[in-house]
Amino acid sequence: MQVTLLYFARLRERFGMAEEQLSLPEGIQTVAGLIAHLAARGDVWAEELAGERVYRVALDQEMADFSAQLHHGAEVAVFPPVTGG
Amino acid sequence: METLPQATIPSARLHVAVQAEDFDLQTELRTLSAGDRGIGAITSFVGLVRDLNLADDVVALELEHYPGMTEKALIRIAEEAAVRWPLHGVSIIHRVGKLYPGDAIVLVLVASAHRHAAFEANAFIMDFLKTRAPFWKKEWTPEGPRWVDARETDYSAAARWHKVVSEQYGNDKHD
């Protein structure tokens, strides 16, 4: 399954990229699985996604929770809590 | 945000924009009210960039957003308000890019037949914009740039609406 990942604000800077295409290993079906896969990269990925830091996930441009099901071609964005207005 | 009962979205005029340029209040007021003589009240909220935040001097503010999702989120918030209050129109303009103290950053206009709906819906929209619309602020201070942290008070401000609307209109519906 192929997904597009987008990172914004502090996470974009910490990860050193705004976007990447990822082919997910068999068995990753949910947002939770994808986040665990990213956190397993270690270093800043583990610090931001598997530690105390708070972040949000959007699936296909809608706020999503960890149980949301991924699909081929999904657009998944990971970002800090929003601070507009 | 909970799923909208699609059939009850009224025909309010909804306009959202994300732009680097400044906006003109009078122009936006006229655009929203043009041709609709049923409007009795328009409330306007204009957010400005402050020069002081958390005791640091803010030299400039940089606004990042998520193109595509931002516009959808703003429309969704406007629709949500139009379901809960009898509105004639909503206009939301949010600026992005580099802004300076005193600059306008966000505009929310709400038009209704009566003032109470216009006041309440405007506050509702701002509270949800602050927790739902994908914008991020970076403050530039004399010590360098720093991402602004989300505030818990913004979340409690948005949460209070569920109670308010349920009590006033019963099960989120109004006549």
The CATH number for B154's domain is 3.90.1170.40
Pick from B65, B66, B146 the residue to mutate for testing the A interface (most A CBs within 10 Å): B66
- Residue B160 pLDDT class (50, 70, 90 cuts): confident
Any idea where the domains of chain A sit in the sequence? 2-79
Specify the DSSP class assigned to residue B140: E
Residue B173 lies in a domain: no
Residue B166 lies in a domain: no
For residues A22-40, average pLDDT: 96
Asked if A83's CB is within 8 angstroms of B132's CB, the reply is no
Q: Are strands A56-59 and A75-79 parallel, antiparallel or unpaired?
A: antiparallel
| Nearest-CB residue to B129 (from A62, A80, A85) | A85
Q: Which residue range(s) make up the domain with B144?
A: 20-160
Q: What's the pLDDT score for residue A56?
A: 96
- Residue B10 pLDDT class (50, 70, 90 cuts): low
Q: What's the pLDDT score for residue B55?
A: 56
* CB burial of residue A76 (10 Å; 0-12, 13-18, 19+): buried
Tell me: the pLDDT tens digits for B122-133? 999 999 999 999
- Residue B171 pLDDT class (50, 70, 90 cuts): very low
Specify the DSSP class assigned to residue B133: S
B163 has pLDDT over 80: no
Q: What's the pLDDT score for residue B172?
A: 41
C-alpha B169/C-alpha B175 separation (Å) is 8
B62 has pLDDT over 50: yes
DSSP chain A: -EEEEEE-HHHHHHHT-SEEEEEPPTT--BHHHHHHHHHTT-HHHHHHHSSS---EEEETTEEE-TTPBP-TT-EEEEEPPP---
ipTM: 0.94
Residues sharing a CB contact under 8 Å with residue B141, sequence separation 6 or more, in sequence order: B56, B57, B58, B59
What percentage of chain A has pLDDT greater than the value 90?
96
* Single-letter amino acid code for the residue at B77: I
Least trusted range by pLDDT, from A64-68, B34-38, B52-56, B72-76: B52-56
* Residues A2-79, CATH architecture: Roll (3.10)
Q: What's the pLDDT score for residue A58?
A: 98
**CB within 8 Å of chain B, chain A residues 24-83:** 54, 58, 61-63, 77, 79-83
**CB within 8 Å of chain A, chain B residues 43-62:** 47
Q: How many domains, chain B?
A: 1
Q: What's the pLDDT score for residue B11?
A: 80
Residue B81 lies in a domain: yes
Distances (CA, A) of B175 to A69, B85, B168, B170: 37, 9, 11, 10
- Measured from the Cβ of residue B3, the count of other Cβ atoms closer than 10 Å reads 5
Q: What's the pLDDT score for residue B4?
A: 53
Please check whether residue B19 touches A, CB under 8 A: no
Please check whether residue B138 touches A, CB under 8 A: yes
For residues B8-20, average pLDDT: 85
Tell me: the pLDDT tens digits for A43-70? 999 999 998 899 999 999 999 999 999 9
Q: Share the mean pLDDT of chain B.
A: 88
Q: What's the pLDDT score for residue B164?
A: 64
Asked if B132's CB is within 8 angstroms of A82's CB, the reply is yes
The model carries a pTM of 0.88
Residue B1 lies in a domain: no
Q: Which residues of A9-29 are buried (b: 16+ CB within 10 A; e: fewer)?
A: bbbbebbeeeeeeeebeeebe
CA distance B85 to chain A (A): 22
What percentage of chain A has pLDDT greater than the value 70?
100
Q: Are strands B87-95 and B13-19 parallel, antiparallel or unpaired?
A: parallel
- B83, B8 contact by CB (below 8 A): yes
Residue B170 lies in a domain: no
| Nearest residue in B to A75, CA atom | B69
